[in-house]
Structure 1
Amino acid sequence: MPNQRDEAADDSPPDLPCLEKLDSPTGSPPTASLSRLMELESCLSNLNLAHEIVLNRDFCFRPRSPPTDSLEGRVTEIVHRAFWDSLQEQLSSDPPNYSHAVTLLQEVKTMLQSLLLPGHVRLRAQLDEVLDMELIRQQVHHGALDLHRLAGYIASTMASLCAPVRDPEVGALRGLGDPVELLREIFRVLGLMKTDMVNFTIQSLRPHLLQQAVQYERAKFQQILDRQPASLDDTTAWLQAAAAEEEAAAAAAAAASAARSESSSPDSQGPVSAIAVLDRAAMRLLRWDPRDQRYPETLLMDRARLDALGRRLQVLVLEASVLLLTDAQCGDAVFSLPGFVGRLRRSVAVLLEGSHAREADLKGALKGIGETALRLVTEALSGRGGAAPPQESRRLLKGQISELWKHDHPVRTLIGERAQGFLRATLQGGLAKRSPEPPAALGPVGAELAELGAAFGRIVHFNRSVFGPFYAPVLRKLLFPPGEAGTGEAETGEAETGEAETEEDSR
């Protein structure tokens, strides 16, 4: 939801399923296409909002504030300044012109009414009495409007309605003497109070939404499919690729088993497990090529989260690879020193930050990591009165670390396979079971890898709970002969039954 929306929250995933083509169908009037597009956009917005609330515990709305150095920020500042300068000019004229001020008081009243709860009967009646717009217009007509008295009542009402965090800002309103500045601050603080109310409502509704999330998201996606039947094309291609990989891996494993048992030919293989295909498909998301736009539609709302997890996994694999190479060249005499592994990991993490986007950046980062690792090793040994590593060991350490940018580097490949195996075992274990222990080679990054696996598992299992019925017919066609189709559907659909409840309990 890692993901909050802007106007909504800042780190929410930006991707929404782009399932509707803007071109009108042949022979259809443009208004019909526009109506369908608006309905689809509304459906997608509701689906994305509900998904963010469920998966992002920290999801909240924040008032939109464009950067001050941006064009939008400068235009917004100019327009706001012009508006308040105009109000200042009207109130400073002789006699004062209260036309805009009365309009602002009406808006303030409306905003205050939106903050009232059903139990605020007396406060609502008092608000209608004090901010009686007809009476205020009569006071303006007779030159008897007391703007400061009304502003004081507004500030007092805001103080009784605001959250404790807003008390200092509401209290500061009473110290403002300029009516324009006072109205401007009232609007600013009221905007914050409305945001607080929305976020409070979201938190209050979240437990109820969790109970209905799977059915709600499934129904919304079905509405999308009804309007755009081709909305599973990329999902189908994604599952096809995973099924091909799983079948190839099963065939290779069968061939290796037959070779070990000196059998003349491997035993005939039945269809691979649908759950195994789903697990392999999920693992493919962590190494997705960012240039590939054919992302599965059922996971577009989680793409930003999954991309972030994939980048984090790459960093952890590189960190573990550097640690393994350093240990191999320098031995336990260095690694057993208190704090050495922590210092080396922190240095590696800092140098790797932001280097995943371009291969040239990664090469430069790894070159610096090799020099840093050698310096830390030398400092650690000299601090214990030991001799510096031999020249050959230093050269090998720097060279091996510098070569880690290659995806086929033996150490990086080994660590990557171990990490992938750990994450897949985490998926197979499910949310209700204890996470497996990380392999020994991943021990130094085990805690972070387990945390990553837990986050990955929550996304994947919730996604299957929602979209299992949509995956089942696709996998049935891919994996099972016509006579065995029912088995595949049961495995992909019914095997996921109860995952929504498990997901809710895990929260």
Structure 2
Amino acid sequence: MPNQREEAADDSPADLPHLEKLDSPAGSPPTASLSSLMELGNCVSNLSLAHEIVVNQDFSFEPKSPPADSLEGRVTGIVHQAFWDCLQEQLSADPPNYDHAVLLLQEVKTMLFSLLLPRHVRLRSRLDEVLDMELIRQEVDHGALDLHRLAGFVVGLMASLCAPVRDAEVSALRDLRDPVELLREIFRVLGLMKTDMVNFTIQSLRPHLMQKAAQYERAKFQQILEKQPDSLDNTAVWLQAAASQEASAPPDCPSAAGRGPLSATAVLNRAYMRLLRWDPQDQKYPETVLMDRARLDTLGQRLRTLVLEASVLLLTNAHCGAAIFSLQGFVGKLRQSVAALLEGSHTREAELKEALLGLGETVLQRVAEGLSTQGGAALPEESQDLLKGQISELWKENHPVRTLIGERVRDFLQAMLQGGPAKRSPELPSPLGLVSAELAELGTAFGRIVHFNRTVFGPFYAPILRKLLFPPGELDTVEDSR
């Protein structure tokens, strides 16, 4: 499995081969501290990459190049064009100069070897035979090099090795006659084939990685902790805040029902729930969940949108009655309108206010259409103004309906965490029935992240929780937090 440093080396466009390797600058060897930092960086890179492969089912490597209109993109384009123009001049000379062309063929051979599997014994032998670099140099010396013949062999081998998605691009190589353009395109397509091979390998290894992922991540984090002992400081603060909130939770809170002393599981569940409402300005994000922050932020944003959607639907139902909600297709159209107008408006207060003002008008329009279809009287003017006003006030965090829906949503997610990944989802309270599918999907994704995180980092959480939950001198044990 490639590490991120190796991938970073391939970030440059694939149409420019690595003809030279720059020597390391002369001077003093790296200090021990710099060496340690590099090791730590490698640990973090490998840990992040392994985690992403396991958690993100859609993970894949993509060829990277700077945007064409950026300064880096323009400079890169100029340099690469100069390289290929230079090659064009060499091949057009009389007699042709094949020095760089031979180096390119050597790199093509290396790239093709990297695509061969152990079972490709005959192909490996044939590749070594046709791209015999010693023989090619002798042909150059005697003016007998047939560049098109060698390129034809390379394209044929690429056709037998490429994934079906590359068939058209490899086939197009056969129509190229200019040797420079042909070599350039060969390098570009070979770069794509290397990426395909890496992604195929990742997909093949994923079942095995899933079995070993928790132990691997735990061991890697332990290495980081040994090199940087303060790597659990934010995690300790995060758990401390969750323990304080859990201790002060009202008696009617689901996690507090019938409890005695605080439990590690309840504290952890509350801690994870806090991540869905994390202040983006707060930089003290727990280290043990840092690799999932983007995923959790996305889930948190989706959760806020669902709360707003359910709040709008609940208000509309309360003012218009259940009869109109029973009309075929009404709820679906209303939800589409609500979701479209609220999309992306939850991050800034001003944007949310504006979206909710427009949403009130849209809801009244949908209601009017529904009542007209039903043959009923239009909603009274007073009721329209009241509904529109209540929807526009949903931007407030303490809005009664929004607060109610938010509490029900959090209770539902909390119950899912308490039930564990193998248990059935708890029943949804009635106000959330209209967004049940989306909320259940969100809860499943959230629960999967939480379960994996607890499996990996349980041994690191246990001593922190032990200090929080058991004063000195009391029982020096804590329930397994995994």
Common fold by TM > 0.5: yes
Asked if residue 304 in structure 1 is aligned to residue 289 in structure 2, the reply is no
Aligned equivalent of 2:122:
122
Instruction: Please tell me whether the aligned partners of residues 232 and 296 of structure 1 are also in contact (alpha carbons under 8 angstroms).
Output: yes
Aligned equivalent of 1:245:
245
Alignment of 1:65-144 (within 5 A): 65-144=65-144
Aligned equivalent of 1:412:
402
Out of 377, 381, 384, the position equivalent to 2:371 is 381
Aligned equivalent of 1:25:
none
Instruction: Please tell me whether the aligned partners of residues 91 and 98 of structure 1 are also in contact (alpha carbons under 8 angstroms).
Output: yes
Write the distance in 2 (CA, Å) between the matches of 1:47 and 1:223: 10
Write the distance in 2 (CA, Å) between the matches of 1:437 and 1:96: 78
Distance 1:482 1:36, change over 3 A: same
Write the distance in 2 (CA, Å) between the matches of 1:437 and 1:75: 59
- 1:61 alignment partner AA: F
Distance 1:90 1:175, change over 3 A: same
Kindly provide the CA deviation profile for residues 192-234 of structure 1, in whole angstroms up to 9, marking residues without a partner as x.
1111111111111111111111111111000011001111000
Distance 1:310 1:44, change over 3 A: same
Q: 1:147 Cα shift?
A: 0.6
Distance 1:50 1:86, change over 3 A: same
Q: Does the residue aligned with 2:480 lie in a helix, a strand or coil?
A: helix
Write the distance in 1 (CA, Å) between the matches of 2:417 and 2:260: 23
Aligned equivalent of 1:16:
none
Kindly provide the CA deviation profile for residues 331-366 of structure 1, in whole angstroms up to 9, marking residues without a partner as x.
123211111111111111111111122110011011
Distance 1:253 1:375, change over 3 A: closer
Q: Does the residue aligned with 2:389 lie in a helix, a strand or coil?
A: helix
Q: Does the residue aligned with 1:474 lie in a helix, a strand or coil?
A: helix
- 2:122 alignment partner AA: R
Q: Which moved more, 1:60-69 or 1:143-152?
A: 60-69
Alignment of 1:172-183 (within 5 A): 172-183=172-183
Instruction: Please tell me whether the aligned partners of residues 7 and 62 of structure 1 are also in contact (alpha carbons under 8 angstroms).
Output: no
Q: 1:270 Cα shift?
A: 4.7
Q: Does the residue aligned with 1:311 lie in a helix, a strand or coil?
A: helix
Q: 1:69 Cα shift?
A: 2.4
Aligned equivalent of 1:423:
413
Write the distance in 1 (CA, Å) between the matches of 2:186 and 2:266: 58
Aligned equivalent of 1:402:
392
Aligned equivalent of 1:264:
none
Aligned equivalent of 1:190:
190
Instruction: Please tell me whether the aligned partners of residues 163 and 196 of structure 1 are also in contact (alpha carbons under 8 angstroms).
Output: yes
Out of 316, 330, 335, the position equivalent to 1:326 is 316
Distance 1:253 1:121, change over 3 A: closer
Q: Which moved more, 1:59-68 or 1:211-220?
A: 59-68
Kindly provide the CA deviation profile for residues 409-436 of structure 1, in whole angstroms up to 9, marking residues without a partner as x.
0000000000000001111111111111
Write the distance in 2 (CA, Å) between the matches of 1:301 and 1:143: 57
Instruction: Please tell me whether the aligned partners of residues 6 and 64 of structure 1 are also in contact (alpha carbons under 8 angstroms).
Output: no
Q: Which moved more, 1:284-293 or 1:477-486?
A: 477-486
- 1:304 alignment partner AA: A
Distance 1:183 1:59, change over 3 A: same
Aligned equivalent of 2:440:
450
Write the distance in 2 (CA, Å) between the matches of 1:69 and 1:353: 29
Aligned equivalent of 2:426:
436
Q: 1:66 Cα shift?
A: 2.5
Q: Which runs of 5+ in 2 are unaligned?
A: 9-28
Write the distance in 2 (CA, Å) between the matches of 1:5 and 1:324: 51
Q: Which moved more, 1:64-73 or 1:109-118?
A: 64-73
Q: 1:386 Cα shift?
A: 2.4
**TM-score under structure 1 length normalisation:** 0.87
Write the distance in 1 (CA, Å) between the matches of 2:220 and 2:293: 19
Q: 1:123 Cα shift?
A: 1.2
Write the distance in 1 (CA, Å) between the matches of 2:99 and 2:267: 68
Write the distance in 2 (CA, Å) between the matches of 1:158 and 1:485: 66
Write the distance in 2 (CA, Å) between the matches of 1:166 and 1:324: 51
Kindly provide the CA deviation profile for residues 286-337 of structure 1, in whole angstroms up to 9, marking residues without a partner as x.
0000010000000000000000000000000000000001111111232111
- 1:275 alignment partner AA: T
Write the distance in 2 (CA, Å) between the matches of 1:249 and 1:365: 34
Instruction: Please tell me whether the aligned partners of residues 51 and 217 of structure 1 are also in contact (alpha carbons under 8 angstroms).
Output: yes
Asked if residue 492 in structure 1 is aligned to residue 480 in structure 2, the reply is yes
Q: 1:167 Cα shift?
A: 1.4
Write the distance in 2 (CA, Å) between the matches of 1:453 and 1:253: 19
Instruction: Please tell me whether the aligned partners of residues 477 and 485 of structure 1 are also in contact (alpha carbons under 8 angstroms).
Output: no
Kindly provide the CA deviation profile for residues 251-277 of structure 1, in whole angstroms up to 9, marking residues without a partner as x.
6879x99xxxxxxxxx9x853111000
Aligned equivalent of 2:454:
464
Aligned equivalent of 2:32:
32
Q: 1:145 Cα shift?
A: 0.9
The RMSD of aligned alpha carbons is 2.1
Q: Which moved more, 1:387-396 or 1:299-308?
A: 387-396
- 2:468 alignment partner AA: L
**TM-score under structure 2 length normalisation:** 0.91
Q: Which runs of 5+ in 1 are unaligned?
A: 9-28, 258-266, 497-507
Instruction: Please tell me whether the aligned partners of residues 224 and 231 of structure 1 are also in contact (alpha carbons under 8 angstroms).
Output: yes
Asked if residue 46 in structure 1 is aligned to residue 46 in structure 2, the reply is yes
Alignment of 1:200-219 (within 5 A): 200-219=200-219
Aligned equivalent of 2:344:
354
Q: Tell me the matched-pair count.
A: 458
Aligned equivalent of 2:22:
none
Aligned equivalent of 1:263:
none
Q: Which moved more, 1:409-418 or 1:133-142?
A: 133-142
Aligned equivalent of 2:21:
none
Instruction: Please tell me whether the aligned partners of residues 317 and 416 of structure 1 are also in contact (alpha carbons under 8 angstroms).
Output: yes
Q: 1:383 Cα shift?
A: 2.8
